[in-house]
Structure 1
Amino acid sequence: MNSLLHFAGNFWWLIFPLSGVVGGAFKAVSAANERRAERRLERYRIKQQTKIAMAEAAGRGRESEALHRRELQKLLAQHDSTDGRWLEYEMDVAKLLDFPAMTDMRDPLTAAFHKAKRRADLLRPENVDDLMGDRAAQLEYRDAVHEYVSAFDIAETEAIRRRRSDFSSADQDRLERAQRLLRLAADDGATPQERQHAYARARTELDGLIALPAATVAGIEREIAGELEA
């Protein structure tokens, strides 16, 4: 104790520089602690921002998927609707003969419509889920359907405008006779023999004028064959 008092009495002047050193060391430690706390806060902030960004991205992904699903559903509906419009010509022979250009593959507009239909049919998915996750395939099908709808609209508009004007008076008379005969061939009230005979005469009238779609021919022949078998 006496030695300590003796040292303090002789070296009291060291208190001031030592206090500065101690104070500086304390400040340095405090500053380091503050920097560590700031780094922890920055890491926490970055982590939270990352979580928010990921959640937002996931939300946008779900919204995008829902949008693409609705788009595909709409495209399938447009495809079906256009198929239905064409089916009216295939199943209604009278309408088909009113607008013969719809089956004339020599006409560029008709050929373009049938080409667009084949491409859309080829790319059509069985259901919406088949194309989900493949944006390139979705866009390819979208473009094909739009081309199909547009080509059909153009071909039908032109066919309605022209009607039978491309045919001579004699050929138009043949079309009229064929139309009446085909109505008889499709008439349930006629006998099977009358229907069969009417169909054969109609095919003769149409020979060299227009070619009936395969589905139309098959439908008529199936009905007549069914009547004969009955």
Structure 2
Amino acid sequence: MEPLFDFLGSYWWLVFPLSGVFAAWGSSWSRASERRHQRKLELYGLKHQGLAVEHARSGEIQRLLSAHDDVNRRWLAYELDAAKLIDYPMMTDVREPLTVAFLRAKREADALRPIDEDELPRDRLTEYRNAVNNFDVAFRVAESEAHRLKDTAFSGPERQRLTTARKLVTVAVDEAATPAERQTAYKRARRELDGLIVLPDATIASLEEKVARMLGAGSSTAQSRASSRATPAGP
């Protein structure tokens, strides 16, 4: 220990420059630690910012898909209901510019609809957003005009045929009607509409399915009643 004390006693003046070195080293180490901490905070912020952006993007896609589905449902309320199309024939009249614009907007929105939202690039998201908005607006405009016009574009005799067809369609899907009445009503309704309204294939298929279902239900009921009448009474 004496040699150490002798050294310190002889070179005590080194304490001052060394203290400055140690102070500078400590300050440098502190700044480096602070920079490392700051970088960690920045990386943490960027990571969570990216997650927030991704969640926001995913949420927007889901909202657009829901909005797209909503307009499609409103259109299907016409396309799958022959009676409603008879009430508002402009909804399927491709001679009407507003109807054409709506159907074109629908095709564009359907074509851009993503199958997998994770594979939808940012530029395609913008296109899809615009397409869904255009689809919604075009449908609202066409529907509003169809409700305003109703059957005013037809002559008096043509309106009478539409009224008759509307009543016949109601009979064709009426459970209270007999199978023969439903079948006859369906055929007569098609004849009344011929040359007046071109029903979409989906509308015809839906109507025929309803009529067939009603005919099947009527046939089953008739068979059940016939079987009941044929059953011999008990002793």
Q: Compute the TM-score of the two structures, normalised by the length of structure 1.
A: 0.77
Alpha-carbon distance, 1:157 to partner: 0.8
Secondary structure of the equivalent of 2:151? coil
Could you tell me which amino acid in structure 2 is paired with residue 83 of structure 1?
Answer: N
Contact 2:174 2:214 in 1 (8 A): no
Is 1:84 the counterpart of 2:73? The answer is yes
Contact 1:94 1:179 in 2 (8 A): yes
Alpha-carbon distance, 1:39 to partner: 4.0
Query: What is the aligned partner in structure 2 of residue 107 from structure 1?
Result: 96
Contact 2:168 2:186 in 1 (8 A): yes
Larger Cα Rg: Structure 1 or Structure 2?
1
Is 1:173 the counterpart of 2:173? The answer is no
Alpha-carbon distance, 1:158 to partner: 0.9
Give CA deviations for 1:25-74 in whole Å, capped at 9, x if unaligned: 99877666655544434333322221111111112122222222222222
In 1, Cα distance between equivalents of 2:179 and 2:19: 108
Contact 2:82 2:207 in 1 (8 A): no
**Which sections of structure 2, spanning at least 5 residues, go unmatched?**
1-12, 220-235
Equivalent of 2:106, from 99, 117, 121?
117
**Which sections of structure 1, spanning at least 5 residues, go unmatched?**
1-22
Alpha-carbon distance, 1:78 to partner: 1.4
Could you tell me which amino acid in structure 2 is paired with residue 70 of structure 1?
Answer: G
Aligned pair count?
Answer: 207
Query: What is the aligned partner in structure 2 of residue 71 from structure 1?
Result: 60
Alpha-carbon distance, 1:91 to partner: 2.9
Could you tell me which amino acid in structure 2 is paired with residue 95 of structure 1?
Answer: K
Give the fraction of aligned pairs with identical amino acids, expressed as a percent: 42
Contact 1:103 1:211 in 2 (8 A): yes
Alpha-carbon distance, 1:217 to partner: 0.4
Is 1:195 the counterpart of 2:189? The answer is no
CA RMSD after TM alignment: 2.6
In 2, Cα distance between equivalents of 1:227 and 1:74: 38
Which deviates more, 45-54 or 136-145? Answer: 136-145
Is 1:185 the counterpart of 2:172? The answer is yes
In 2, Cα distance between equivalents of 1:146 and 1:27: 75
Is 1:138 the counterpart of 2:138? The answer is no
Could you tell me which amino acid in structure 2 is paired with residue 108 of structure 1?
Answer: P
Secondary structure of the equivalent of 2:195? coil
Taking a change above 3 Å as real, the CA distance of residues 133 and 146 of structure 1, as seen in their structure-2 partners, is: closer
Secondary structure of the equivalent of 1:141? helix
Alpha-carbon distance, 1:103 to partner: 0.7
Alpha-carbon distance, 1:133 to partner: 6.9
Secondary structure of the equivalent of 1:131? helix
Contact 2:79 2:202 in 1 (8 A): yes
Is 1:159 the counterpart of 2:142? The answer is no
Alpha-carbon distance, 1:151 to partner: 0.8
Contact 1:69 1:132 in 2 (8 A): no
